[in-house]
Structure 1
Amino acid sequence: MTEKLLQYLWNFKVFKHFDFKDIEGNSVEIHDFGKWNTDSGPDFLSARIKINDLIFAGNIELHVKSSDWIFHNHSSDPNYQNIILHIVFQNDMEIEEFNHNHIPTLELLNYIDQDILWKYKKLAGGSQFIPCETIFNPTRIPVNFHEQNMLKKLEQKSLELEKSLQQFKNNFEAVLFQSLAYSFGLKVNAFIFKQIAESVDFSIINKLRHNETQLEALLFGISGWLENPEDDRMKIWKREFDFIKVKFNISDLKFRPKFLRLRPPNFPTIRLSQLANLYHQHQSLFSKIIHIQRSEDIFEIFKKVKASEYWDNHFNFGKISTVHQPKTLSRDFVELLILNTVLPLKYTYQKYQNEETADEVLNFYRHLPAEKNAVVSDWKRLGLTCKNALESQSLIYHYKNSCEEKNCLNCSIGFKLLKESSNV
């Protein structure tokens, strides 16, 4: 038993029965269990109880053992002067001040189903994929579980985007560029690509986007790759970058993307060229995205994006590859861009303007295929189906924010499992 679990059981009223009696044998009627206080002070505020035909209003404190009141030094703390009931799992000692002030103690040991304690021990001590794996039942997923997780994730992402919007004076086009740069960098180069995007004012990107060579030169130059050109094309990029650097007063600071542990199609050279081509092809990209109603129309925006011709037979500067083919964006990569960048920004833009925004964005996720990764595979191994991106994104979010943290008492699945009988 832990104090957190005891608070949880009291808050959700998970007991075998409610015919409570204090340690003196007096009947204790709970008229109001109180409001769970997650800040400092008593555990439950504004409770109401009836004992010996008298009604008391005040606060409730819970402990695993009665002696914890002494060990926690509550006696001298003024925040605990309005206690009307002391709740413990086990009464291991008599508290003199409670006797003196006629404050009842309620021992819950015999009111809690032992099956719940067994299940919680399984949850808290589990070292498998998810804490509840040994008692998990895929049929016990709560209604709207995926929708609620997805909205939490979107709100979390939206708060991050709103900070960027404040920084860039509500310029959604600039924030989209930085967000896309982050996604194009994948895990290895995400932060470096974002730094590259943030190192120049978006107005410069807008001025150069009509000239793909100059836009590439800017991104390659900021990456520090043009200092020693190895072929004619690199010399052109260097010449353009030197001109741009003087014209727009570009900083000498260089960001060095990494190649380590990346497959050649994901090399930063290819991804930055593709990013330049995307912005060369599409003026006012954010405006186009925001008015799209179908996921397939978003794919159309990225369909023709490819690295410049130099990269048809290169993966790195000055090194001709035996593989000769255009470096286009794969559908899987575009799906990642849509899931992690386009839809969160679409949600952020529309949520203050349209009450139907949440449903509209969730429908986009429903019409995209489920992701394929180790987390989703493990959920499937436990018997959960995963039909679309809404469900895969939900499961990934839930795993990272609840399961990895062993936050089972704030998990809707854990709540159902704890309440149900042991023969699930």
Structure 2
Amino acid sequence: MLFTEDFLHYVWKFRLFERANLQTTTGDIIEILSAGMHNTDSGPDFGNARIKIGDTLWAGNVELHLSSSDWKKHKHSKDNAYDNVILHVVYRDDEPVILPNGRQIPTLELKDRIPDELFNRYHNLVFGTQTIIPCEASIGKLDDFTLKTWFTRVLIERLEKKSTAVIAALNLNRGDWEETFYQFLAANFGFKTNAVPFELLAKSLPQNILAKHKNNPLQIEALIFGQAGFLNDNLADEYPRKLKKEYEFLKKKFNLTPIDNHLWKFMRMRPQNFPTIRLAQFAALVINSNHLFSKVLDIKDVKILQKQFTDIKVNPYWEDHYQFDKPSKPSSKSMGQASAELFLLNTLALFLFSYGKHNQQQYYIDRSLKLLENLPGEQNNIIADFDSLGVKASSAFESQALLELKNYYCNYKKCLQCGVGNKILKLA
């Protein structure tokens, strides 16, 4: 029989075992007043339990094992943290547990008290041969309330994990939210392929330098393309030559060192996504949106936030170029709505959440979640798989939750820690 200690914890925590005529292995009557609080750190598995054994009411810790002999294998007798265990709960009792002081710990065996139906449902989830997720046969049948409640929980978990990187960067930037937002926004301009060079660019070119030239678009473009390493070579067209001239002056003025041009990737990429075009769009955003994070905090309307990105106009040079000195057929280089939505999802929503959490202001956390509710769901293989199971992501709120669910619960078969898995196990 395949069985895990996690399942035993689950059974004990929710008292999903036959509780009539409970006795220790030595015949003492047991009455469980409180199973205790589940401890996921070191030490006994459940703390602050209240259990009556015989005529004595005990308060203390409960330890669980598949076999009572595991106590010795785990060397608990040599750990003082286990001296106040009041009950040892095991699937099978194969030997008594005697502490160094001679006290025998009362033991409760659950081998014949766990319903077969419950075990079979658990076994099918964790040890089944499913191809997408463990509960693929059942998740599409669950009620909306269960799903949405759990989606909220895992989405918060996702944002909390991502916010740790934001706060770490904020500390490095001495509490400067605008600079931190600028760096993360730049990294997202590179999407996955060019995220690293974009981030290095932003860190090599502080926002306060750009702010000093907010009234001179050519100098801002020169600073961005120069620091990106695209103005090192001899250039033929008038526009890049002007940029190079401006950059050479500004480079000396601010003692700047450009990043390595070879970091940028062009291979297997649509020309519209070339880093040169993304840099042109980034420059246009900087020119048109000083103190953008302050605007993010103030602007509530999703459409107005989107326009901060879709309404930017790149330098006319790029209308018929994808790279310097290489003419191409004229085409619009404005940012599309789909790209703008990714910035709102990956940067703006994250920063609203991080700002609210860091400053203990629920208002901004709620705005972050509301923003995700008003953005369309993402389209990728994971979301498509859930859709095939009858679970549709109608918003970014739901698609982000499904990504977290798949990557951090389903992939590791954490069904016992999952609200969806718990609901399926408890179904009659």
TM-superposed CA distance for 1:89, in Å, is 0.6
Is 1:29 matched with 2:34?
Answer: no
Structure 1: segments with no counterpart, 5+ residues: none
Deviations, residues 156-210 of structure 1 (Å, cap 9, x unaligned): 3333222222222332221221111111100111122111101122211212333
Aligned to 2:256: 250
Whether the 8 Å CA contact 1:23–1:107 is kept in 2: the answer is yes
TM-superposed CA distance for 1:98, in Å, is 10
Is 1:360 matched with 2:352?
Answer: no
Deviations, residues 99-134 of structure 1 (Å, cap 9, x unaligned): 952422111112212233333333333562222223
- The CA distance in 2 between the partners of 1:350 and 1:59, in whole Å, is 37
Counterpart of 2:229 (choices 204, 224, 238) is: 224
Structure 2: segments with no counterpart, 5+ residues: none
Relative distance call for 1:272 and 1:188 in structure 2 (3 A) is same
TM-superposed CA distance for 1:354, in Å, is 4.3
> Aligned to 1:21, what secondary structure does the other structure show?
coil
- The CA distance in 2 between the partners of 1:9 and 1:113, in whole Å, is 10
TM-superposed CA distance for 1:226, in Å, is 1.9
TM-superposed CA distance for 1:330, in Å, is 0.7
Letter matched to residue 176 of structure 2 = N
Counterpart of 2:191 (choices 173, 176, 186) is: 186
- The CA distance in 2 between the partners of 1:77 and 1:376, in whole Å, is 47
Aligned to 1:129: 132
Aligned to 1:2: 4
Is 1:56 matched with 2:70?
Answer: no
- The CA distance in 2 between the partners of 1:76 and 1:347, in whole Å, is 45
Aligned to 2:396: 389
Counterpart of 2:167 (choices 130, 138, 162) is: 162
- The CA distance in 2 between the partners of 1:350 and 1:106, in whole Å, is 47
Relative distance call for 1:267 and 1:302 in structure 2 (3 A) is same
Is 1:331 matched with 2:337?
Answer: yes
Letter matched to residue 134 of structure 2 = P
Instruction: Give the 5 Å matches for 1:33-52.
Output: 33-52=35-54
Instruction: Give the 5 Å matches for 1:236-275.
Output: 236-254=242-260, 256-275=263-282
**Identity over aligned residues, as a percent?**
37
Deviations, residues 31-63 of structure 1 (Å, cap 9, x unaligned): 221222222222122222212222222222111
Aligned to 2:325: 318
State the TM-score, normalizing by the size of structure 2: 0.91
- The CA distance in 2 between the partners of 1:289 and 1:83, in whole Å, is 53
Whether the 8 Å CA contact 1:309–1:326 is kept in 2: the answer is no
Aligned to 1:413: 420
Whether the 8 Å CA contact 2:205–2:227 is kept in 1: the answer is no
Aligned to 2:150: 145
Letter matched to residue 122 of structure 2 = Y
Relative distance call for 1:359 and 1:239 in structure 2 (3 A) is same
Aligned to 2:79: 77
CA RMSD of aligned residues (A): 2.3
Relative distance call for 1:278 and 1:253 in structure 2 (3 A) is closer
Whether the 8 Å CA contact 1:306–1:326 is kept in 2: the answer is no
Whether the 8 Å CA contact 2:353–2:368 is kept in 1: the answer is yes
- The CA distance in 2 between the partners of 1:320 and 1:248, in whole Å, is 32
> How many residues matched?
420
Instruction: Give the 5 Å matches for 1:85-100.
Output: 85-95=87-97
Deviations, residues 391-419 of structure 1 (Å, cap 9, x unaligned): 11221222222222332222111111122
State the TM-score, normalizing by the size of structure 1: 0.92
Whether the 8 Å CA contact 2:97–2:104 is kept in 1: the answer is no
- The CA distance in 2 between the partners of 1:291 and 1:399, in whole Å, is 34
Deviations, residues 76-114 of structure 1 (Å, cap 9, x unaligned): 322222222111111233445599524221111122122
TM-superposed CA distance for 1:350, in Å, is 4.2
> Aligned to 1:60, what secondary structure does the other structure show?
strand
Relative distance call for 1:365 and 1:253 in structure 2 (3 A) is closer
Relative distance call for 1:121 and 1:292 in structure 2 (3 A) is same
Relative distance call for 1:217 and 1:401 in structure 2 (3 A) is same
TM-superposed CA distance for 1:313, in Å, is 1.6
Relative distance call for 1:46 and 1:267 in structure 2 (3 A) is same
- The CA distance in 1 between the partners of 2:246 and 2:163, in whole Å, is 37
Aligned to 1:277: 284
TM-superposed CA distance for 1:335, in Å, is 0.3
> Aligned to 2:279, what secondary structure does the other structure show?
helix
Aligned to 2:210: 205
Relative distance call for 1:44 and 1:146 in structure 2 (3 A) is closer
